[in-house]
Amino acid sequence: RCFHFCKLPGRVMGIRLLRFTSVVIIVLLLVAGALTALLPTIKDDKLPNSRREPKTQSQSALDSFTLIMQTYNRTDLLLKLLNHYQAIPHLHKVIVVWNNIGEKTPEEMWNSLGPHPVPVVFKVQTVNRMRNRLQNFPDLETKAVLMMDDDTLVSAHDLTFAFSVWQQFPEHIVGFVPRKHISTPSGVYSYGSFELQNPGFGNGDQYSMVLIGAAFFHSGYLEDFQRQPEAVYALIDETQNCDDIAINFLVAKHTGKPSGVFVKPVDIRNLEKDTNSGYSGMWHRAEHLLQRSYCVNKLVNIYDGMPLKYSNIMISQFGFPNYANHKNKM
């Protein structure tokens, strides 16, 4: 075949034309090569924290995250928050866990007000349960999950930074709300009282949990969570609380290290008071904190030991918002 084809140009075009064409092509290739060599050297001081240009929805599973937001009786806040979160860099998709049983989702309204930067999926639930948000949603395509309470607003700067931190600590819960447990000589644990107590090790405070109502964590933990002892689900259902403590136990057991990494937020806001629904969050219940202490002890029983570990690492963004935040007085 080549024999036939090779002869054809020789007969049709003439050997001279063939040579000329070849020379032109070679010259063009050399010129292209020279131009490429003259281009500025690709900088290989690659920044792990760079903000990439917005890509299509097919962003790499490692470069983007899925926001999971459970909502109950605060649709006005939800919609406000969706308008904010839909534009966060590196966001891949939003999953709204719709705990308003029997009520229509705002999907129609959402679609009528499109287009939107990312897809939002409304997962209609059949029972109003706290742990609905901890399902292993098939819609999840990314390695990272950002879980937010439906009354919490965190700035894009904080989220972008915290996501970059998560990428450096992917097996940890990287978030904005640290909490701790306290060990007591009796062996009974208490859910620590903010900064009013500390575990008593050296200077300063310690935390042993990072709450998942404002945090990044690996989607694999949602998968793991489906394989926990029944008693864990029973506990969360009984209290309608403590799902976040349970996840911290799970992560601590899995890593053998402190479950969370605390990133100090620059701008985090609770919008609870802004809702018109009149509904205030579960944490206002009188027994909320006592319940959490109860949960800590129950989980220690269920898991036959206390896996939570303390950390005192607090991460902030160097030179943001103010370059002076790292200025030393030397």
Catalytic residue annotation:
244
Using the rule CB under 8 A, which residue among 142, 198, 219, 291 binds its own copies?
198
- 112 touches its own copies (CB under 8 A): no
Residue 202 to residue 74: CA distance in whole angstroms: 43
Closest contact distance (angstroms) between CB of 305 and its own copies is 6
- 30 touches its own copies (CB under 8 A): no
Q: Which of 242, 179, 174, 171 is nearest to 206 (CA)?
A: 179
Is the CB of residue 307 less than 8 Å from the CB of residue 250? Answer: no
List the interface residues with its own copies, window 228-257 (CB under 8 A): 257
- 183 touches its own copies (CB under 8 A): yes
List the interface residues with its own copies, window 270-299 (CB under 8 A): 270
CB count within 10 Å of CB 94 equals: 24
- 1 touches its own copies (CB under 8 A): no
Element of type H or E holding 27: helix 15-38
Using the rule CB under 8 A, which residue among 49, 57, 60, 83 binds its own copies?
49
Which of the stretches 62-70, 99-107, 116-124, 259-267 binds its own copies when contact is defined by CB under 8 A? Answer: 259-267
Close Cβ partners of 175 (under 8 Å, ≥ 6 residues apart): 162, 210, 211, 212, 214, 215, 216, 217, 260, 261, 262, 263
- 206 touches its own copies (CB under 8 A): yes
Which of the stretches 5-13, 46-54, 100-108, 126-134 binds its own copies when contact is defined by CB under 8 A? Answer: 46-54
- Euclidean distance between the first and final Cα of the chain, in Å? 80
Element of type H or E holding 22: helix 15-38
Cα angle 53, 59, 64 (rounded to 5 degrees) comes to 85
The nearer residue to its own copies, 19 or 269, going by C-beta atoms, is 269
> Residue 215: what are its φ and ψ, rounded to 5°?
-160, 155
Interface residues with its own copies (CB under 8 A) are 40-41, 43-51, 152, 157, 160-161, 164-165, 168, 176-178, 181, 183, 185-187, 195, 198-199, 201-208, 257-258, 262, 264-265, 268-270, 305-321, 323-330
